[in-house]
Structure 1
Amino acid sequence: MKKILLSAFSCRPNSGSERGVGWHWAIEIAKLGHEVWVLTHPKHQATIEATLDDLAVAEHLHFIYYQIPNSLGGWWKGERGIYLYYLLWQWGAYRFIKSTHAHFDIVHHITFGGIRTPSFMGGLDIPFIFGPVGGGERAPWRLRFGYNLRGWISDALRDISNAWIKISPLMRLTFRQAKVIYVRSSQTRQIIPKKFRTKTQLYLGIGLTEQLNIKHNNANTFQVLYAGRFLHWKGMHLGFAAFKHLLKTEPKARLTLVGDGKDAKRWQRLVEHLGLQNKIDWIPTISQAKLFHLYAQHDVFLFPSLRDSAGMAVLEAMAHGLPVICLDLGGPGMMVDSSCGRVIATQNATEQIVIQKLGSALIELAQDSTLRTQLAAGATRRAQTYTWEKVVRQLYKEIKLDTRCSSFF
């Protein structure tokens, strides 16, 4: 049993996204028998403390709450300025832990899980794991032509930010101090300076809490589902055109969109321009329970995202027996294979080629119910390999820590 410090700025029970990632890693590491000390922000302290009493691993799980002094961080409200606040929190949290002189066998940075934000925990002079982290994914230039001006500017700034990583003093310090760096995609690995890439390992690092109950759509109409944020890089400018291609052979097919986001109005205008307004159902952001119910009412999950590091919605859809159609980019491209869906190759492909391939994949699944059944079974099997228990156990199985010489692997 080792004493592990888990750096998880974002951590909250019964949550998705970064908060859920921090919580699940903490729980599963504790289940392995280690003493886990979670260093986190006090924003969700009340929820965490209320949940701890019901946990079987509570005796192995401890929380350290650190908040920046108001003189430095009192200005922070909501999402505005979050990354500056987070940088200050990381530095302050490191200094706080350093001042306690507490002994840990290992320190593991888990949230935020982004490649552009540093951690100073390597300065504790104990073995330091960084990640899994993502964010190096880059939308192919040829597939950006459907963006509006804001989308072009946003992705250009992201490209510049990712290029800065190679010379950023703070990120180079993080990479230098890390014993191992887990990255969610090969694209993220490529933006790490070459001298540190030997430390990297590909590991998606997301999971499900349990295998979910599956019900299949029994309607005669072929039902396509998209769930996620409505943003330019989610690739639905390709998805809508591919769906129109499907309607030429399956005129009764329907597409359901669940979520919201900055591009909602733009998507609606694009749908009207393509003449699809009577074939699409729009549903605002809903609870996870209601979303799970929707998965069961559809036949296929369409997720043409151009740069998702993870893609939890893809994993949830597979767990509900939905074949997935996605691009060979980011996390979805790693999770999905020919046994559970269709992955569209994007290298050197134009928008029209990708649209045609997406449309063909939709037509193939719409016209072959036997294939859909096979892929649905494959999707559930694939999802079973991504439970939180298996994901965390596998990573920690690889780690061999000798506290006498502070070495890994």
Structure 2
Amino acid sequence: MKVLLSAYACEPGKGSEPGVGWHWAIEIARLGHSVHVITRANNRPAIEAAIGAGGLPETLRFHYCDLGLRWIRLTKTWLQSPYLYYYFWQKTAADLAGALHAELGFDIVHHITFGSVRLPSRMGELGIPFWFGPLGGGETAPPNLRKHFPLRGRIADGLRDLSNWLIRFDPLMHRSFAAAERILLKTPDSLWCIPARYRHKCVATLEIGIDPSAIAVSGPRPAGRDKRVLFVGRHLYWKGMGLGLRAFALALQREPDLRLTMVGTGPETRRWQKLARDLGIAHAVAWRGWLDRAAVMKSYAEHDLFLFPSLHDSSGNVILEAAANGLPVLCFDLGGPGMIVDEAVGRRVSARGTEAEVVQRLADALRLLLAASPAPADLAHWAAQRTWRSVVTEIYAARPPMKA
């Protein structure tokens, strides 16, 4: 089968959207399909370096397009809007897609990045089967847990909810949904954003996977040392560590040997540090800032539990990484983390009820998971079932590979 993949973000060695575009392209080709990828020209140096290093499928080809420097300056520099640039790029990509289809005759076109329920694609204009997604962004923080948000966070989340509600009136999104044969969603939480007439096309599927080479079976944690909890991520209000710190404080009252390490920085760093002082737990919390990848891997081996109380993440790459390195995961039953984590790898905590009830529930789960964690070998086995290959195969198994 000949597949045309639209991947605005596609770059080796990166996480988030660029990593999604890159890994899906590779794994679709490894399934035996002929894959042609349309991506931005600024991704070309990294992609060509990866091609030069070897090991990529021979049936994988890349095509690059971008707008002129004037458009980049206008949308990104002067207007400070990368998404506006993305809208204009879609027209250029659609023109290139039409020319490639006329020459090569694709069986399917798949828009992979950006994957947002608020951003349209013009790939459906080719008139061949069109797959759209996985799309995210419909995940919302429960209203009962927004009280601890800073004012700007409450405003931002309110505007985000309004933007998602307005999708039903967006003609460009209607065109994209109407043209799609399949609409892939990162989580079921985004289904409410899809107009009702298109929901029969929707399938919830994992967007992210783990590289098998990143799976490490760790040894048993040293006996007698402090019990160590780890958070890795940007310090943003919706990452939930305002609740996480409160829960840790409750758990610390019962188990004084607990310690928490915070990796990362962001707008909420100072606010969270003040909260730790106000809660009387500053002595038990270490603030490490951003670490390089080797240091993060070392941190996984030095801790006992990964705490990730995010309130509206669509994915959760760091969860797979933590589990692959032997750390059980504690999260809310929300968004991507709530879809990824099960009892084999950790605990999902209900986000329903009052804030005090949710914080207490999170504290109790933290202590229980530390007392009875999955074995490192079991965590490695769990991660091995969630590789990029298995994620992509689940979607493409319904279509036969290209015939020689």
TM-score (norm 2): 0.94
Amino acid in the other structure paired with 2:127:
D
Amino acid in the other structure paired with 1:306:
L
For 2:123, the equivalent position in structure 1 comes to 121
Q: Say which of 165, 174, 177 aligns to 2:179.
A: 177
1:83 aligns with 2:83: yes
Query: SS of the residue aligned with 1:165?
Result: helix
Query: SS of the residue aligned with 1:146?
Result: coil
For 1:24, the equivalent position in structure 2 comes to 23
What CA deviation, in whole Å up to 9, does each residue of 1:200-256 have, x standing for no partner? 001012001115223243251100001111000011111001100111121121100
CA contact (8 A) 1:328 1:343 kept: yes
C-alpha deviation, 1:278, in angstroms? 1.1
Q: Which moved more, 1:277-286 or 1:391-400?
A: 391-400
C-alpha deviation, 1:187, in angstroms? 1.4
Q: Distance in 1 between matches of 2:63 and 2:205?
A: 27
For 1:296, the equivalent position in structure 2 comes to 301
For 1:233, the equivalent position in structure 2 comes to 238
For 1:212, the equivalent position in structure 2 comes to 215
For 2:327, the equivalent position in structure 1 comes to 322
Query: SS of the residue aligned with 2:53?
Result: coil
CA contact (8 A) 1:301 1:324 kept: yes
The aligned runs of 1:8-407 (5 Å cut-off) are 8-77=7-76, 80-100=80-100, 101-102=102-103, 103-210=105-212, 211-215=214-218, 216-218=220-222, 220-347=225-352, 349-366=353-370, 368=371, 371-374=372-375, 376-399=376-399
Query: SS of the residue aligned with 2:6?
Result: strand
Amino acid in the other structure paired with 2:317:
M
The verdict on how the C-alpha distance between 1:206 and 1:161 changes in structure 2, with shifts beyond 3 A counting, is same
Query: SS of the residue aligned with 1:283?
Result: strand
Amino acid in the other structure paired with 2:81:
G
C-alpha deviation, 1:399, in angstroms? 3.0
Q: Distance in 2 between matches of 1:104 and 1:74?
A: 34
CA contact (8 A) 1:340 1:377 kept: no
C-alpha deviation, 1:400, in angstroms? 5.3
CA contact (8 A) 1:7 1:40 kept: yes
C-alpha deviation, 1:76, in angstroms? 4.5
CA contact (8 A) 1:52 1:58 kept: no
Give ranges in structure 2 of 5+ residues lacking alignment.
Answer: none
What CA deviation, in whole Å up to 9, does each residue of 1:10-42 have, x standing for no partner? 111111111111111111111112111110001
- Identity of matched residues, %: 44
What CA deviation, in whole Å up to 9, does each residue of 1:330-349 have, x standing for no partner? 111111112221111123x1
Q: Distance in 2 between matches of 1:141 and 1:202?
A: 24
CA contact (8 A) 1:8 1:40 kept: yes
What CA deviation, in whole Å up to 9, does each residue of 1:247-297 have, x standing for no partner? 112112110011111211111111111122111111112222221111111
Q: Cα RMSD (Å) of the superposition?
A: 1.8
C-alpha deviation, 1:81, in angstroms? 0.8
Query: SS of the residue aligned with 2:131?
Result: strand
C-alpha deviation, 1:160, in angstroms? 0.7
Q: Distance in 2 between matches of 1:401 and 1:389?
A: 14
What CA deviation, in whole Å up to 9, does each residue of 1:139-190 have, x standing for no partner? 0000101101011011011001101111111111110000000101111012
Query: SS of the residue aligned with 1:301?
Result: strand
CA contact (8 A) 2:183 2:201 kept: yes
C-alpha deviation, 1:97, in angstroms? 2.3
CA contact (8 A) 1:98 1:124 kept: yes
Query: SS of the residue aligned with 2:71?
Result: helix
Query: SS of the residue aligned with 1:286?
Result: coil
Q: Distance in 2 between matches of 1:351 and 1:80?
A: 36
CA contact (8 A) 2:34 2:402 kept: no
**The structure with more helix, counted as a fraction of residues:** 2
Query: SS of the residue aligned with 1:151?
Result: helix
C-alpha deviation, 1:398, in angstroms? 2.2
CA contact (8 A) 1:341 1:379 kept: no
What CA deviation, in whole Å up to 9, does each residue of 1:111-131 have, x standing for no partner? 111111110100011111001
Q: Distance in 2 between matches of 1:294 and 1:76?
A: 39
Query: SS of the residue aligned with 1:7?
Result: strand
C-alpha deviation, 1:51, in angstroms? 1.1
Q: Distance in 1 between matches of 2:158 and 2:291?
A: 32
What CA deviation, in whole Å up to 9, does each residue of 1:72-104 have, x standing for no partner? 333344793111111111122112322453321
CA contact (8 A) 1:214 1:296 kept: no
Q: Which moved more, 1:283-292 or 1:303-312?
A: 283-292
Aligned residue pair count? 397
Q: Distance in 2 between matches of 1:365 and 1:200?
A: 34
CA contact (8 A) 2:347 2:369 kept: no
